[in-house]
Structure 1
């Protein structure tokens, strides 16, 4: 039996595995190989790694785990999980040439992250990660002072448009239909110099990954260099819910201090558990979860 199984090989999972490896814990890290950051060219805002390609961060993280002989990394997807009689967890893994197998652990850390739901706009997927983004903290700097389009209706669209004023003052909120905003909110947009286009969007047009214009169904077009949308995410995995975890109204896993959950021995870290979804925060959450897990294992071992 492993001390800990970690499901998810992004910043949270890798960080937790590193700390637990240094605690001489027997760890199995399972990575399905579908990171949220796959469309991104660079990972920004991560101290000492600002601008690093996401895959490079994952590669270096795995490489450094090789120092710790108690840590095993496996390219496999966790397809099921259950609690064991008497304590601990059993995880069903699909990998190793398609053969399913089960592994057991005393503690379980889920770092499975979230999946972005992209707006249904023609041409958007082709530009996603290059000039279409969902996080201004991750990609706003690279497009500072440029003409930007903001996509979203209602309060979410207004919030993102106002947020982006920190990076550019050439902003147009495109609502792809009625804005669904009361007059006071519309006045606030205008007061802050944010334009509004309520026409239905026909498509995004660009070249070599760079947005050039937003084309409307009316035939008009809006020249823009980047397109930010108010994101909607969903859990990448339902393993936490299968074990009895509750979700917040926003869809995050409900967690307490040190990434604990209401299920004894189960921890959830990273984008799956917090509102601030930055890679550096996910790494910190993984480290905090690892600290709590090792502390709990010590208490059990020293009774």
Structure 2
């Protein structure tokens, strides 16, 4: 199969990759957005906190974005997965799962993160319908309702006070040892927040809406929603495979310009930030695209890389 030559290969087609494609297309760069079509937010019904798009479905968000980007013919969309990358700044060769080959001057990873929910019976049935991971994204819809937080340790001490801005009617289930100090437990008592460390044996629901959380010790906790902490992994192993430095939380290390430790390789969005919101990812993608454009134009102008 013939090689396709690009200025920029964008690996990942979420908000970061799409906004980067828009900026690069307007900058007259030849771009391919390589994405398999399995977004992190596929389980959710609505995107929130994105000005002019609040409440839109993830699928409609992507459809409208692609329609707008189609005004710039140098941008193409490839439904595929990148599986290998070799080369150096100015000449990277990308092979895909379906056997396509691209040669690109720059690489932008916008691969996002994947949620790995805890293995609790019944959680899959409510995930994305009444069980969520981010109060900024879904707290408004569950405001003033009786909720359960499934979390423990340091991240629990961040999430609990944060969630209290949407409702003060919540119970904490740590699903095993709480990993808290005595002072932290006293903080929950002072705020009259029930705290249970018995393992969860079942989340009971109807039509995707949680009804109660059932613990191993026989306790049942009625609720209408859940916030939980998933484990996170990058949406692709490819950045690590080609030598990108990885953070302690599993993301890609970048500088303030979106540059990784590999010259010519950039990253933006959820994979390169802990601010996991669609609008933040889109902003990161736009900025990285501007930096990439500057580098490409400087080379064309005759400056060194």
TM over 0.5: yes
CA contact (8 A) 1:246 1:254 kept: yes
- Give distance in 1, aligned partners of 2:90 and 2:75: 22
- Give distance in 2, aligned partners of 1:215 and 1:173: 13
Q: Which residue of 1 aligns with 2:297?
A: 298
1:280 aligned counterpart, secondary structure: helix
Q: Which residue of 2 aligns with 1:28?
A: 32
CA contact (8 A) 2:90 2:104 kept: no
- Give distance in 1, aligned partners of 2:102 and 2:239: 17
Q: Which residue of 2 aligns with 1:57?
A: 61
- Give distance in 2, aligned partners of 1:107 and 1:138: 32
Q: Which residue of 2 aligns with 1:171?
A: 170
1:19 aligns with 2:23: yes
Q: Which residue of 2 aligns with 1:116?
A: 115
How far off is 1:59 after superposition?
0.7
CA contact (8 A) 1:171 1:193 kept: no
Q: Cα deviation per residue 1:233-259 (whole Å; 9 max; x = unaligned)?
A: 011112211222111111111101221
Q: Cα deviation per residue 1:104-139 (whole Å; 9 max; x = unaligned)?
A: 000110101111110110000110000111111111
- Give distance in 2, aligned partners of 1:243 and 1:287: 24
2:95 aligned counterpart, secondary structure: strand
- Give distance in 1, aligned partners of 2:241 and 2:180: 38
1:1-303 matches, within 5 Å, as 1-84=5-88, 87-95=90-98, 100-303=99-302
CA contact (8 A) 1:17 1:65 kept: yes
Q: Cα deviation per residue 1:213-236 (whole Å; 9 max; x = unaligned)?
A: 001122331101111112320111
CA contact (8 A) 2:113 2:233 kept: yes
Q: Cα deviation per residue 1:178-232 (whole Å; 9 max; x = unaligned)?
A: 2221110001111122111122211101111111100112233110111111232
Q: TM-score, with normalisation over the residues of structure 1?
A: 0.96
CA contact (8 A) 1:162 1:189 kept: no
- Give distance in 2, aligned partners of 1:212 and 1:146: 12
Q: TM-score, with normalisation over the residues of structure 2?
A: 0.95
CA contact (8 A) 2:117 2:229 kept: no
- Give distance in 2, aligned partners of 1:159 and 1:29: 36
Post-superposition, which runs of at least 4 consecutive aligned residues in structure 1 deviate over 6 A?
none
Question: Structure 1: 5+ residue runs without aligned partners?
Answer: none
- Give distance in 2, aligned partners of 1:251 and 1:5: 22
CA contact (8 A) 2:113 2:232 kept: yes
CA contact (8 A) 2:146 2:170 kept: yes
